[in-house]
């Protein structure tokens, strides 16, 4: 019997406003993502892709319908329990890196572990392991200002995976990078997906970036317009 999906949308609606001002960002979306998949989410501005991503990352909840993460009806959890789910199982990577400027790469990577009360020695060991996984051995004492944009994003990815999450949510992870660095970051995410069995859900506007994923889901007007397997990535 196949394992249930990691992520399930069952007729998910997300609405904002009331009456004539009501806007349906998502309009009855059905979607399932299995463990270990690398899924790109695309769509024009206002299509619902960012709303879907926020729900997937347990940052928001549906207005109607059901969102299940690891079998849990995450939409029915209160804010504190959603935060716990996020902190235990989800890593985030953003376009803007979001690194603390006056701290080293290793210290930036250690941050999520501080909130878990991990000892200083174990924090450093885990941070060094994560930095090695993203190809930054020897850069652990560098501050963000001493690193290139691509290296800063690698630090951000190391920070996202240091807690060994089940799901990595990546929001335009190459949006600030040139073509060469974009290729490097996407190759890295592809390797992490394969080597760690890490489920990755990535929002991008770039079709070339989406091509690295195994599957592309396109949103339009709050609906899933298409859901395709990327033959080249597969």
Specify the pLDDT at position 121: 95
Tokens of residue 83, six digits:
């935060």
Q: Which H or E element spans position 54?
A: helix 49-56
Alpha carbons 105 and 136: distance in angstroms, whole number: 9
CATH number at residue 133: 3.40.50.300
Q: What is the pTM of this model?
A: 0.94
Specify the pLDDT at position 21: 86
Decide: 155 and 136 in contact? Cβ < 8 Å. yes
Q: Specify if 23 maps to a domain.
A: no
Q: Specify if 66 maps to a domain.
A: no
Instruction: Going residue by residue through the chain, which has 234 residues, state the pLDDT in tens, using 9 for 90 and above.
Output: 667 899 999 999 999 988 888 899 999 999 999 999 999 999 999 999 999 999 999 999 999 999 999 999 999 999 999 999 999 999 999 988 899 999 999 999 999 999 888 999 999 999 999 999 999 999 999 999 999 999 999 999 999 999 999 999 999 999 999 999 999 999 999 999 999 999 999 999 999 999 999 999 999 999 999 999 987 765
Q: Specify if 200 maps to a domain.
A: yes
Secondary structure E strands in 34-127:
38-42, 64-69, 72-73, 90-94
Q: Which H or E element spans position 203?
A: strand 199-203
Specify the pLDDT at position 117: 87
Alpha carbons 135 and 149: distance in angstroms, whole number: 14
Q: Specify if 190 maps to a domain.
A: yes
Q: Specify if 26 maps to a domain.
A: no
Q: Specify if 128 maps to a domain.
A: yes
Alpha carbons 210 and 38: distance in angstroms, whole number: 10
Specify the pLDDT at position 231: 77
**Domain that includes residue 113, residue range:** 34-61+78-229
The domain total for the chain is 1
Alpha carbons 12 and 30: distance in angstroms, whole number: 7
Secondary structure E strands in 133-181:
167-171
Q: At what angle do helices 149-161 and 120-133 cross, to 10 degrees?
A: 130
Q: Specify if 15 maps to a domain.
A: no
């Amino acid at each position: 019997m196949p394992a249930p999906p990691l992520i399930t949308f069952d007729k998910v609606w997300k609405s904002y406003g009331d009456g004539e001002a009501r806007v349906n960002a998502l309009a009855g979306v059905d979607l399932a993502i299995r463990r270990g998949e690398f899924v790109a989410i695309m769509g024009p501005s206002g299509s619902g892709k960012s709303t879907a991503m926020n729900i997937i990352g347990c940052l928001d909840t549906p207005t109607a319908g059901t969102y299940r993460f690891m079998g849990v009806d995450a939409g029915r959890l209160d804010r504190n329990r959603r935060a716990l789910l996020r902190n235990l199982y989800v890593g985030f990577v953003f376009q803007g890196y979001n690194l603390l400027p006056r701290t080293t790469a290793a210290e930036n990577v250690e941050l999520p572990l501080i909130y878990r009360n991990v000892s200083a020695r174990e924090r450093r060991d885990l941070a060094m392991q994560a930095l090695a996984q993203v190809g930054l051995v020897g850069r652990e004492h560098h501050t963000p200002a001493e690193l290139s944009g691509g290296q800063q994003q690698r630090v951000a990815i190391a920070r996202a995976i240091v807690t060994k999450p089940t799901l990595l949510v990546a929001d335009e992870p190459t949006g600030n990078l040139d073509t060469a660095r974009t290729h490097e970051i996407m190759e890295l995410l592809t390797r992490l997906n394969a080597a760690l069995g890490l489920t990755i859900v990535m929002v991008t506007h770039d079709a070339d970036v989406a091509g690295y994923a195994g599957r592309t889901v396109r949103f339009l007007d709050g609906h899933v317009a298409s859901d395709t397997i990327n033959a080249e990535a597969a």
